Amino acid sequence: MDDEQPLSSNGVHPGSMAERARAMRENMLSRKTVVMEVAGYEGMLAVEYRGLGYAEARTMASRLERVSDETQRDLYFRADQMIAASVNAFDIRSDPKRELGFGWGIALAAELGVDKAEELTPRQAVLACFPGDYQYKLVEHTIELGEWFRGASNDVDLWQAQDFPVTS
């Protein structure tokens, strides 16, 4: 058939029902947020995250395939997830908590006292917030964040299922 549209990067026709459902799901997921204290900064820092879909996470991971060191690739992926999903950060030492107006990246690294943060890339800035053996705290935090991502994704699936009543 000559009038068939080419497949999009996710293997479905642009404008198709599958593509519209995927876009709706991603939109719903991105509107779901959580505020979490950051491992290693307990009692000081909390960050608000939006839902992050599987496709977005896979795209991030595929950009890192050329990084040969597995540990470095894992840390880069975790930092990239934190940057992509963060919406805002809060200084929770004060009452009421103080909204910082930015998520993970250069500005937050500077706020946390990272030396010469303005000279770093956003990923380098996040990694500098968890130096040396402190990187275990970054891993701990992203494990908790990943669990929230999975729960948020399941919630969106349930919301979408409500729109489709069972007929048999």
Q: pLDDT > 90: what percent of the chain?
A: 57
Is 168 a residue whose pLDDT tops 60?
no
49's enclosing H/E stretch is: strand 45-50
Query: In this predicted model, which residue has the larger pLDDT, 86 or 17?
Result: 86
Predicted local confidence at residue 1, as pLDDT: 47
Structure tokens at 88: 């805002």
Query: In this predicted model, which residue has the larger pLDDT, 105 or 12?
Result: 105
Is 166 a residue whose pLDDT tops 70?
no
Give the torsion through C-alpha atoms of 138, 139, 142, 144, to 10 deg.
-110
φ, ψ of residue 152 to 5 degrees: the values are -65, -40
pLDDT, tens only, 45-78: 999 999 887 778 889 899 999 999 999 999 999 9
pLDDT classification of 148: cutoffs 50, 70, 90: confident
Predicted local confidence at residue 151, as pLDDT: 80
pLDDT classification of 33: cutoffs 50, 70, 90: confident
* Predicted TM-score (pTM) above 0.85: no
The one-letter amino acid at 8: S
Residue-wise over 31-66: b if at least 16 C-beta within 10 A, else e?
A: ebebeebbbbbeeebbbbbbbbbeebbeebeeeeee
Residue 71 CA to residue 4 CA, distance in Å, equals 44
Q: For helices 70-85 and 135-162, give the axis angle rounded to 10 degrees.
A: 50
**Cα-based distances in Å from 2 to 5, 39, 132:** 9, 55, 57
Chain-wide mean pLDDT for the chain? 84
pLDDT, tens only, 109-127: 999 999 999 999 999 999 9
Q: pLDDT > 70: what percent of the chain?
A: 73
